[in-house]
Amino acid sequence: MRGKQAIGAGVLALALVSGLGWAAQATTGETATDQITASKAGPARAAAVDGYQIVRLPGANVPNFQRRTVSCPAGKKVIGGGAEAQGNDAILVGSFPTDNGTGWIGLGRQNNYSSVGITVYAICANA
C-alpha cells in the first residue's frame, strides 16, 4: 500500500482446539487474521473473548513523532492493537501498549513534511 504502513504488534490469537486445550499464537506483520490452524482432531474454533471490542482512534495529522493514544472503555484491558501512518513517505515509528495496559499508542513521521496522519486501534477485553 503506497503511502501507508500498518503494524499489528502483539496480537494474540487464542482458540479452543477441539478438546485439546487452549492454543496461542503471537502474530506480527501487516495482517493478523485467521492465524489459528486446524488440528488433526478437527477444525480450530475461535474462542469467545469476554467483552471483546475493537476501539479506533480515527486518523488525524499530528506533528512528527507525536504519540496518539486510544484507550479501552472502563473495566477493559488491551489484548492487542496496531497503528497506521498515512501520507507520502509516511513511516510508522512505534506501535505498542500503554504502560498501564488499558490502551494502545501509535506514532510516526514523514520525511519531507512536519506532520503525519496516524490512526490507532486497540483490541480490548474485560479485565
Q: What is the pLDDT of residues 34-92, one digit of tens each?
A: 222 233 344 444 568 999 999 999 999 999 999 999 999 999 999 999 999 999 999 99
Average model confidence (pLDDT) across the chain: 74
What is the rounded CA–CA span in Å between residue 108 and residue 59?
12
DSSP 8-state symbol, 40: T
- The bridge status of strand 22-27 relative to strand 45-46 is unpaired
SS3 category, 124: strand
Stated pTM of the model: 0.64
Reading across the β-sheet that carries 11-16, which strands appear in turn? 22-27, 11-16, 45-46
How many angstroms separate the CA atoms of 36 and 86, rounded?
A: 30
Question: How far is it, in rounded angstroms, from Cα 47 to Cα 68?
Answer: 30
In percent, the amount of the chain with pLDDT more than 70 equals 63
